[in-house]
Amino acid sequence: MNEANEILNNIDTVRFEPFELNLLPLLKIPFILLIIANLLFALILYFRIRILSDTFVTSQNRSIKSLVVIYLLGTFFFSLFAILFLVLS
């Protein structure tokens, strides 16, 4: 039982004789890059909607702009929480 606990505790580390490498931080990097890409997508969507709403005048411009701003702010705050949880884990 003691050996099994030791194996499970060291499952995310690779040991060479003089070195020890922890793999868990390396697995977090793709998720952080994906969250940053999602933020950039939301920002590009905001700029695209803003340009389109300034180009074409309709009665729904204000509601669409506010909806995209709410989406952008929600994406920003939830991405901050996600990065915080990734860093703390």
pLDDT reading at 19 higher than 90: no
Give Cα 87 distance to the centre of its chain.
11
Residue 37 scores a pLDDT above 90: yes
For 53-78, the pLDDT digits (tens) are 878 777 878 888 888 889 989 999 99
pLDDT at site 52: 83
